[in-house]
Every structure is written in structure tokens, then in C-alpha cells.
Amino acid sequence: MNAMPDSDQSPRRGSLANLAIRRPVGTLSLAALVVVVGMFFIERLPVDLLPEVEFPHIRVTANYPGVAPEVMEEQVTRVLERNLAATENLVDIYSRASEGRTNVNLVFEYGTDIDMAIQDAARHMELARTQLPEGIDSLRLYKFDPSQSPIYMAGFSSPVRSEVEVSDWVEQRLAPQLLSIRGVSSVQAAGGQQREMQVIVDQDRLRSYGLSMQVISDVLAAENVDIAGGWVTSDTFDVMTKTDGLFTSVDDIANVLIDLPGSNSRRIRLSEVADVRDGFREQRLFARLNGTAAVQVSVNKLPGANTIEVVDDIERTIARLERSGFIPDDIAFQPTRDPAYFIRGAVSGVAAAALLGGTLAMLMVLMFLGSLRKSFAIGLAIPIAVMATFAMMGVGGLTLNIISLGGLALGVGLLLDNSIVMLENIYRHREELKKSPEDAAHDGAREVVSAITAGTLTNLAAVLPFLLISGLAAMIFRDLILTISFAILATLLAALTLVPMLAALLARIQWQSGLSTTRFIRGFDALIIRLREAYRRILPGVLRWRWGVIGGAAGAFVISIALFGQLGSEFLPQMDDGNVRVRMVLPPGTPPQENDAARARSSRFCVRCPMWKPCLRFPVAIYGAG
């Protein structure tokens, strides 16, 4: 009775859905392959809070120690700005000058090849170098992310070593180890005391010998160098030599000989006109870890490097150095900033919400369908579609972040719509038309395959144009659009292959779970029936007053537009990472020591908070300013 003519059966069974129904083993094998590939990529997908964004921003840093900000602006900043302004695709240029340092920032159009921009800026920087003062340090040109902050911070202290020794150990021993980690751009140490050889000149004695400060400075600069001595050769050896001229102690400096003016033979030691001390530089920056003097280590990553991977490598490196004894037993350290913890928590929270949403959706499907086998067919297709999406994300070079996971949740939600339509039509042929399981799957899939494909491709066509936008928004939401597109394609393939194949296989099972006869399902069906009857009673009135309904909808639309104008707007929502930062600003001219004392008083209030955890308190007092 259900047999179809061969002429109808042949084209009917040439579609993708019918091919999957006829080849269940091959379909399941391909599904298993998709799961394996998806698991391969999900372990290798980088995890970050937001999609990777390369800001078209370049910074030039120039150091000129001891020079006032006004002089830096006149002699360095303006020279750099005049020359760098000729860089191609430059949108904006701005700078900031402080004592001994200036930063010139170049902002380009989004989409500009930043590597080519750096090369162009480097050529103009070389032209500017010839116009800069002779005493200026080497210029630095590098990519700059204005929103980037240190990805890892830790405090190092010791109850045995002095602050100078701890600071030297951090800068000379620890920093090179951290710089060698892949993805690390810079390691900065702040706080602590810096060793300094101080030459305190007696002005009266200096004038009595007819000398000046410039003479002392020139002599010290000339003596504090290593000079190459060339090759020393003989019949038995051939070595390269040099003179060890760098100062290593107070005596080396104190014993420097100075020629007296007007005499070719008279010379005096530096100790006769100056007092040489082995001390430390005036401390203008303080770091405290739980009230103890410490050195803060801040690690920045390269633009494009993954935060989670770099932080994990840093922690593994520090753990390895601690196990090997590289970090002395008397040096204590404590991480004080680890955004990887917050990123993992945010991403896992979004993933848990998506998983919970999928579970609730499956429960609703189970309640509406009232069948375990129907729900199983849809429930098996969901993880396979998710794994296919992960595989495409891996091939596309995307990252797991809150944006892409949100797109995955939206895209996979379409699977339920497509699968329910496919499954219900197949079971209509099975239960109402009394067809065999295989014929019901073939005929039911053939009737809705074009509608499902058209509806899914319509959704795809609605989101793909967003890839054509430019600017920062395109970089942020590119992962969202691509993930939704990948999920839409995966759900379409799952609905056209897995669902009809599983429907044909599961329909052959004669066992009945009896779920549809349970009191809960029957009560839920009765509720749906009552809602359906209520809708039927309301529908005639709605049709009679159709113009009123249209007017009400138009009024609601106008009101929504008015309310939309009152909503606030921001590019991304504010994020709470669980940290509270206290910033104090004292009056200008406040000495650094008073800043540190104010920090100590405020810290005593912080530790009284029941939610307080040990942290690195880092009061800043720069150049005596408050």
C-alpha cells in the first residue's frame, strides 16, 4: 500500500538526507570522525576573554635622563612629531612628555598593515634621529595596545637580603628568564632600592685646583670603559685581549687620576676633591607586599599573544626555577595579578550557561514530544553539531572567548528548530500515514528538506553581511559572526543527515518507554491543549479587529523607539574581575616618603575588610609630586 513507483523513488532517494538514511553506518562513521576532529581542536583552541584585536597603534619612546618636561617637548617631542607625521595612513598623532622621557603615539586606520606601518615609521624616525640632541638614548619603536595592562604581576621580598640585593636579583637574574618565554614582550621591575655609586664633590677644593664639574664628568666617562686590546699571538697561543676599565668598587672610582690644568705632569686622585660612596639611588617609587618592602615584577605580552598561554608559561617557568633552586629560599614571592583566573572563570561561566541552556532546551523538547527516542535523536545531534563547529573554529583560527561562545549558543539553538521540524514530519508519516520506518524517513525528509535549507540559509544570509563592516567593531564581532555561521552550517548538516537517519533506526525499535502516558506528560499535554483552545477563541476577535491590532503594534513600535533613545550606550559592558583598587592623589609637591606613609595608613583600613586578601600595595610618588 505504501510502495511508490520507481520513477518517484529514484530521484527522491538521491538527496543528502536519503543517502544518510540508506547508509547509517557511513553516516555514524562520519559523525564519529567529526567528534574526534572537534575534540582535537577544542584542546588546542586558545582561550581568551575577548577576540584577538590588533590595534593600529605604534609608539615611539625616547629617553633623555635628567631633562625637564619642557625641554623634552621642545627638543625631542616636536622633532619626532614633525618627522613621523609623514607616515602613510596616519590618522592621529599625540604625545606625552615627562621628566627624561617622551612617548609619541601614532594611530592608523583600522585594517592598516601594522608591520608595514612600523617599517615606514622607522624610516622617518631615522631622519629625526639626526636632529635630536647627542645625549639622548636609543629610540624605541614598537606596537602598542592602549588597553593592554600587565598580564602577570608578582611581589618579591626577602627577610634576609637588602632591598638593593632583591632588586638586583630580580633585574639581573629573574627578568632574563621571564623574557625568554614565548609571547612575553617586556618585564619591568618597580620599587625597591637601586645601587648607585655616588661622587660627592667638594666645590671649594675643586675650585682651588682650577677644575670644574664638567672635567670630573668627562674623566669618569672616559675611564669607565672596556677597551679592546686586539690579538696577542705567539707560536703557542692566539688570544683576543681587552682592558678591564669598568668600575667595580669605590676604590676604583676614588683612585681615578685627574690632570690639573696648566700642568703636564701634576695629577691628583678623585678622592682629594670628592667623597665616593657605595649607596643607593633616592627612592621615589615604593612597593609594599603585605606591609613589607618588595619589588614588583610586571610582565606584558606581545600583541596577538594568548593571555592564558603566556600566563601558564610564566607560572610553569617560576615553578621550575623554584624547584631547581634558582629562586633562593630566602626570597618569597606572591602573584598579585593573574587575569587568566578571571578569563577562565568568565569563559567557563558562559560555557556553563550554554550547557544549562541546552539541557533546559532538551527538557522542553522531551516535554513537548513526549518520547525518549525522539529526544534522543535530537540530543545526539546537538553535541555532534557542536564538535563540528569547534573543528571549523580551529581551522578558521578563532579563539574560545565570551563572544564566540555566545555565537555558538545562538547557532546551535537553530538545530532544535530544524531537527524538530524534520523529526515531527517523519513521525507524522510513520504514525498517521502508517508507513514503514524507512519510507517514513525518506518521504518525511523529502517534504521538509527544502524548507529547512531555505530557512537556515536565510539566517546565514542575515549575519554574513556583518563581516563587511570595518573598524574596531568588525574585529570584536568577527568571531561572533563566524561562529554563528559555522554553527548554522553544522546544524543544517546535522538536521539533514543525522536526524532522519536516527529517526529511521530508532523507529524500528518496538520497545515503548511509556513516557507519554505518565501523569506529568499528560498534564503538560492538557495544558498545551487548553492554551491551543484559548488561542482558537481569541483568534476570531483578533481577525475582526485587525486594524486595531496593527495600530497597537505600530504604537508599541513608536514607544520602543522613544525608549531606545533613553538607553545608555557603551562599546562593551563593564566587567567585574573581583578586584578593588584604591588610588590616592596627594597635593602636588608631597615628598615620596609622605606618600608612602599615607599608603601605610590607608592599608590599615583595607585589611579590616572581611573580604580582604593579601595584595601588592603600590603607591606611586614620582619626582616628588603628590
Same domain flag for 446 and 471: yes
- Is residue 29 one of the residues assigned to a domain? yes
Alpha carbon 9 to its chain centroid, in Å, reads 55
Residue 479 is predicted with a pLDDT of 85
- Is residue 324 one of the residues assigned to a domain? yes
- Is residue 333 one of the residues assigned to a domain? yes
Same domain flag for 87 and 100: yes
CATH of the domain at 125: 3.30.70.1430
Same domain flag for 395 and 494: yes
Residue 251: burial class (beta carbons within 10 Å; 0-12, 13-18, 19+):
exposed
- Is residue 84 one of the residues assigned to a domain? yes
CATH of the domain at 478: 1.20.1640.10
Same domain flag for 135 and 177: no
Using CA atoms, how far apart are residues 507 and 440, in angstroms rounded to an integer? 9
Higher pLDDT, 563 or 615: 563
Using CA atoms, how far apart are residues 578 and 613, in angstroms rounded to an integer? 11
- Is residue 69 one of the residues assigned to a domain? yes
What are the tens digits of pLDDT across the range 96-146?
888 788 999 999 887 788 888 899 999 999 888 888 888 787 788 888 765
- Is residue 336 one of the residues assigned to a domain? yes
Instruction: State how far the alpha carbon of 345 is from the alpha carbons of 341, 349, 350, 577, 579, in Å.
Output: 6, 6, 9, 10, 14
CATH of the domain at 209: 3.30.2090.10
Q: Which of 269, 265, 229 is nearest to 245 (CA)?
A: 229
What are the tens digits of pLDDT across the range 268-294?
888 888 898 888 777 777 777 777 788
Same domain flag for 298 and 336: yes
**pTM for this one?**
0.69
Question: At which of 491, 517, 543 does a domain end?
Answer: 517
Same domain flag for 361 and 427: yes
Please write down the long-range contacts of 320-324, taking CB distance under 8 Å and 24 or more positions apart. 321/174, 321/177
Residue 373 above 90 pLDDT?
no
What are the tens digits of pLDDT across the range 457-501?
888 888 888 888 777 777 778 888 888 889 888 888 888 888 888
Which helix (H) or strand (E) segment is 373 a member of? helix 372-395
Instruction: State how far the alpha carbon of 396 is from the alpha carbons of 303, 399, 486, in Å.
Output: 19, 9, 10
Residue 422 is predicted with a pLDDT of 87
**Domain coverage including residue 468:** 6-44+344-517
Is residue 490 within 8 Å of residue 456, measured between CB atoms?
A: no
Q: 550-586 in b/e burial notation, b at 16+ Cβ within 10 A?
A: eeeeeeeeeeeeeeeeeeeeeeeeeeeeeeeeeeeee
Instruction: State how far the alpha carbon of 98 is from the alpha carbons of 73, 584, 599, 620, in Å.
Output: 8, 20, 24, 15
Residue 597 is predicted with a pLDDT of 79
Residue 499 is predicted with a pLDDT of 87
- Is residue 34 one of the residues assigned to a domain? yes
Same domain flag for 179 and 319: yes
Using CA atoms, how far apart are residues 413 and 418, in angstroms rounded to an integer? 9
DSSP label of 76: I
* pLDDT category of residue 6 using cuts at 50, 70 and 90: very low
- Is residue 81 one of the residues assigned to a domain? yes
* pLDDT category of residue 248 using cuts at 50, 70 and 90: confident
With a CB cutoff of 8 Å and minimum separation 6, the contacts of 364 are none
What are the tens digits of pLDDT across the range 162-193?
888 888 898 889 999 999 999 888 888 887 77
Same domain flag for 181 and 314: yes
Same domain flag for 114 and 176: no
Same domain flag for 119 and 213: no
How many domains does the chain divide into?
4
Question: At which of 79, 113, 143 does a domain end?
Answer: 143
Using CA atoms, how far apart are residues 120 and 139, in angstroms rounded to an integer? 15
Same domain flag for 354 and 259: no
Using CA atoms, how far apart are residues 352 and 105, in angstroms rounded to an integer? 41
CATH of the domain at 191: 3.30.70.1320
Question: At which of 517, 534, 557 does a domain end?
Answer: 517
Same domain flag for 213 and 327: no
Residue 557 above 80 pLDDT?
yes
